Copies of this chain bind each other. A is one copy, B any other.
Amino acid sequence: MTQKTQTRSGGRSARRAARATALPDHLRPVRPGLEGGTYKPLTPAEMDRIHGAALQALEEIGLADAPPSGVGYLTAAGAEQGADGRIRFPRALVEDAIARANRRIVLCGRDPAHDLDLSGHRVHYGTAGAAVHLVDALGRNYRESTLQDLHDAARITNVLDNIHFLQRPMVARDITDNCEMDLNTVYATTSGTTKHIGTSFYDPAHVKPAIDMLHMIAGGEDRWRERPFMSNSNCFVVPPMKFATESCLVMEECIRYGMPVLLLSAGMAGATAPSTVAGAIVQAVAECLAGLVYVQAVKPDHPAIFGTWPFGLDLRTGAMTGGSGEQALLTAGCAQMHKYYDLPGGAAAGIADAKLPDMQAGWEQMCSNVMAGLSGLNMVYEAAGMHASLLGFCHESLILGDDLIGQALRCVRGIEVSDETMALDQMREVCIGGPGHYLGTSQTLGRMQADHVYPALGDRTSPKEWDEKGKPDLIERATARKEEILANRSAARFDPALDARLREAFRIYLPA
């Protein structure tokens, strides 16, 4: 409808120069922890109903397969084990657990500048997952993911402003021993980024040596316990309504050693959860409430993230799908339930079903990411880099995700309404005897940095400029950026003395 305005070259170069200097924090248009919550897919009455159904499910159906230790903790707390072995949760027990939950969770970074405050509707985006492939975007190829790929993902995350944490996004398939894989995952991620990290453990026995490594990195047990910079992503349930016996034991170990826990219920709507959005949310909420009771029964104040992560399913094929509108609703509805309970919560968004970072990937990643942010989800997991319905992770897509999430964060920040922003005085000056445009007003120039998110790789040139620049390709630009990041020494790397001690104590597969 409207053509581009003419560029005024004097103003243009001045504005370009102003942008070239790094932004002080108060001028950054977006940052971690912006408050969402303006999008509310559920009414208060609907949340009451979902809560009521979850309580009923816990009281009447309960959960099977708790490990003996868990049965002990839970029955001592007031849960009941039936003749069928299932643990059932009286309503009052669940309500007490909600009332007493730890609501003041801060997930620490190794660098305190990266700490994440999970209170209120504060929104943070990061990676997660267990992809088994690395996606070569330029080569259009999938291959098995390696430890080096994981380390590179950590290093890339460390320099991207809008990727606020690194949860282990892919599996190091080049390490066959599960314990060595878990330990090298800790090494490869912590040595790549000073942001908060999430990881998983295959076996409860792997937790203790990992903690030994984390104590060394932290500079002692006290310092680790004071600022644990790694959390445990724990699939404590096998939906529907069964505890994951081994994972529960991992959880108990993590609680023992002061590692925050993400209580992750990853049902698939239509397979391991009801196919309806509401039903999948009810079940995920019920399962995570059971997890909350469990954590508190082990240690009352332990930090636990309410991780309702229902996934979508393509019912035509029975295969998982994460790029749908249904997925975006599942996640946003869960986020609203977290805040119904005023609990720090997390869920999955940003998953692409697309195999490559193409247009489909862009729309899939944005849809659930922006809705997650607007709904006020504290931890948006799997937000960048995830393809093929979680089977592939892509470094170039992670880098492009930083741009994508920057725009989503701008939406989360929302619309500021004040006398200054409504700009009536400016309007009067511009229109009546003024220049008839706002290009040079002090408010336009003064706010050009603080109000606007400029893409790093996203292209805004005119067709003419684009043609003159040789029609730059988005994937080629992301690949070049990746190579530039990885060519530099990482600011997150360990000092050589610590690194030598770690390599002496553990078999580290990454080259020194």
Contacts and interface: CB of A to CB of B under 8 A. Distances in A.
Interface string A300-324: 0000000001010111111111011
Interface in A319-335: 319-321, 323-326, 328-329, 333
A130 B444 CA distance: 27
Given A422-B49, A454-B316, A414 B41 contact: yes
11 contacts: A1-B264, A1-B382, A7-B319, A240-B431, A276-B447, A328-B411, A359-B362, A359-B474, A362-B362, A362-B365, A367-B370
A341 interface: no
Interface stretch (A53-61, A223-231, A501-509): A53-61
Interface stretch (A91-99, A208-216, A252-260, A385-393): A385-393
A495 to B, nearest CB: 33
A42 B438 contact: no
A454 B316 CA distance: 9
Interface string A243-279: 0000000000000000000001010101111111111
A453 B324 contact: yes
B370 A133 contact: no
Given A4-B319, A276-B443, A316-B15, A360 B415 contact: no
Nearest to A329: B415
A366 B388 CA distance: 19
Interface string A411-451: 10111111011111011101110001111010111011001
B423 A276 contact: yes
Interface stretch (A110-118, A348-356, A480-488): A348-356
B311 A2 contact: yes
Q: What is the predominant secondary structure among interface residues of chain A facing chain B?
A: mixed
Contacts of A276: 416, 420-423, 443, 447, 451
A282 B326 contact: no
A233 interface: yes
Contacts of A392: 463
Given A241-B431, A407-B325, A128 B1 contact: yes
Contact of A316 (B16, B129, B390, B391): B16
Contacts of A176: none
A489 interface: no
B4 A427 contact: no
Interface in A374-394: 374, 381-382, 388-392
A415 B335 CA distance: 13
A84 interface: yes
Contacts of A418: 278
Interface string A268-302: 10111111111101110000000000000000000
